[in-house]
């Protein structure tokens, strides 16, 4: 089962995302509201993927993505950026980030996460993915 950490400053979204993903075969092993908690949980839980909101209130999810990559131990953790904003609002920033992809919060699903991760395992260039195939 895919193990996931979700980082978002919106408690309602965290509850909804956890419920949705767990019903779709993704184990949400932790949730974090900020970078400090996210880094602690990532090191402690070693999830298979970390979903990071680009806008974490007073913090930047893009910076957190870099921290998760550089301080993730022997193997960097795959980070998928998420946002309620359109991918086009952040295209250059997403492409410059170490994240393996992007998902709109409205497109978030277990299958969409697996699709992004499969793309990186297939040796495709990591990059933004705003919608799962067929959307």
Beta-carbon contacts of 78 under 8 Å, excluding residues fewer than 6 positions away, are 48, 49, 50, 100, 117, 120
**At 27, phi and psi to the nearest 5?**
-80, 115
Give all domains of the chain, ordered by start, each with its CATH number. 2-121 (3.40.50.2300)
Read off the pTM.
Answer: 0.86
3-state SS assignment for residue 15: helix
Q: What is the pLDDT along the chain (135 residues), one digit of tens a residue?
A: 999 999 999 999 999 999 999 999 999 999 999 999 999 999 999 999 999 999 998 899 999 999 998 865 567 789 999 999 888 888 889 899 999 999 999 999 999 999 999 986 543 333 444 444 343
Reference 108, options 30, 20, 35; nearest CA is 20
- Helix count and strand count (H, E) for the chain: 5, 7
């Amino acid at each position: 089962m895919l193990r996931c950490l979700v980082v978002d400053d919106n408690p309602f979204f965290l509850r909804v995302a956890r419920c949705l993903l767990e019903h779709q075969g993704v184990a949400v092993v932790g949730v974090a509201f900020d970078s400090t908690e996210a880094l602690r949980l990532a090191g402690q839980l070693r999830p298979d993927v970390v979903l990071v909101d680009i806008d974490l209130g007073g913090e930047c999810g893009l910076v957190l993505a870099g921290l998760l990559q550089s301080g993730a131990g022997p193997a960097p953790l795959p980070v998928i950026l998420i946002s309620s904003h359109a991918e086009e609002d952040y295209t250059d920033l997403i492409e410059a980030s170490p994240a393996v992809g992007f998902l709109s919060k409205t497109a978030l699903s277990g299958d969409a996460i697996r699709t992004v991760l499969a793309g990186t395992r297939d040796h495709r260039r990591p990059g933004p993915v705003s919608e799962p195939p067929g959307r």
